[in-house]
Amino acid sequence: MNFRKITFLAALVTVFNFYSCKDDEEVVTIEERDETEVYNEDILEIEEFLSTHTYNYQDFDFDNPYTIQNDNFEIAFDTINDTNPDAIALIDRPELEYKIVEQNGIDYKLYILKIREGLGNQLNSLDRATVKYRGENIEGEAFDFNINPTNLNLTTAVDASGSINYGVVRGFREGLIEFKTASEYNENNDGTLNIRNHGIGVIFIPSGLGYFSTFVTGIGTYNPIIFKVNLIERIFTDFDNDNIPSYLEDLDNDSDGYNDDTDEDGVANFVDTDDDGDEILTADEVQPMQYDEDSSMNPFTTKAEAQDYYDNNAAANEIFVKIEYLSNGNYRLHTTILTDTDNDGTPDYLDPSN
């Protein structure tokens, strides 16, 4: 199985089969095309869109970006024509930037309209992200959207139980990690959500970083796509259930967990239950900890209290794992102590001699 093949969550889109086993149904044949040729077409189409379209930037307060009014900002594109001749095209907006994503020898230009970066946490590609989003084709027709916060794995991985956790297309992931999460995310007394200071923007994705030759309803094949995104929360994953958050197993911090393989057994650390190959499970070479109460024997009644306790009391070799909501309304703090038996600076789970 090729774990590097990144697909979007199956629940998000309907992907049609290329063929049918029924004789009386039409067979859909997808011609495999050259990736460079398709990219050249896609980038021209994207840049044409950026040159001929604008958005409602007048409705966003750029002088004071982190206001409640801006928290509720919704992006709307418009074609530049005789009715708005003075509108600034997307290609000329200072919020538009791009990054180069190398894939199969091609330097993909991934355009990102970063309207607001966000004041919360930075993502790692091995995380799960809470987002609101709207996926559109280049004509502005929605093929997928979720107006309520939903959790998405950013990377496809097989967990310790053997289940496949599907991630998002690469262009979505590479764009989303350029934003930060909300500084506040909680439920109000009336059941509504309080989401403050989150990242807001748009990702313009060539098909090679999207669905490429896979037929997706509302997109077709070999077509670029656009995602409007609101990044709300970062959630740590632990795909191999070894008590080490997956992002910490991206040892070189390059947002590619698949190139970190300490024991060189062909299995990346973040999906390897024995990272150093010493035949002792990683979970048995670290010490998981949990705290229901602070040092004053008072329960954590908010996530902020649990986080504050960790920030002020964690040992040097103690890492944050998660904050769990309990049925009694309180919170539990989970951490892991990285033991280093011989004090050589390498934790036991990465040291085959211990």
* pLDDT tens series, the chain, 354 aa: 333 333 333 333 333 333 223 333 344 557 899 999 999 999 999 999 999 999 999 999 999 999 999 999 999 999 999 999 999 999 999 999 999 999 999 999 999 999 999 999 999 999 999 999 999 999 999 999 999 999 999 999 988 888 899 999 999 999 999 999 999 998 888 888 999 999 999 999 999 999 999 999 999 999 999 999 999 999 999 999 999 999 999 999 888 999 999 999 999 999 999 999 999 999 999 999 999 998 888 999 998 899 999 999 999 999 999 999 999 999 999 999 999 999 999 999 999 998
User: How do beta strands 157-158 and 164-165 pair?
Assistant: antiparallel
Residue at 137 is within a domain: yes
Is the residue at 291 inside a domain?
Answer: no
Taking the mean position of all CA atoms in its chain, how far away is CA 341? Answer: 35
Does residue 286 form part of some domain? no
Give SS3 for 183.
coil
CATH of the domain at 65: 3.10.50.40
Number of domains in the chain: 1
Alpha carbons within 13 angstroms on the beta-carbon side of residue 188 total 7
Number of H helices and number of E strands within the chain?
4, 15
Q: Residues near 172 by Cβ (< 8 Å), separated by ≥ 6?
A: 8, 203, 205, 210, 227
Q: For the whole prediction, is pTM greater than 0.75?
A: yes
Q: Which residue segment(s) compose the domain that 186 sits in?
A: 35-235
Model confidence pLDDT, tens digit, residues 174-224: 999 999 999 999 888 888 899 999 999 999 999 999 999 999 999 999 999
Q: Is residue 138 part of a domain?
A: yes
With respect to residue 334, please indicate whether it lies within any of the assigned structural domains.
Answer: no
Residue with tokens 């005789």: 82
Q: Indicate whether 142 belongs to any domain.
A: yes
In a domain, 253, yes or no: no
Tokens of 6: 């990144």
Distances (CA, A) of 354 to 245, 265, 282, 335, 346: 21, 18, 11, 21, 10
Largest CA distance in the chain: 73
Q: Name 280's Cβ contacts closer than 8 Å, sequence gap at least 6.
A: 274
Residue with tokens 């969550």: 9
SS3 2: coil
Instruction: Give the closest residue to 41 by CA, choosing from 227, 171, 226, 212.
Output: 212
Tokens of 272: 């390897």
293, part of any domain: no
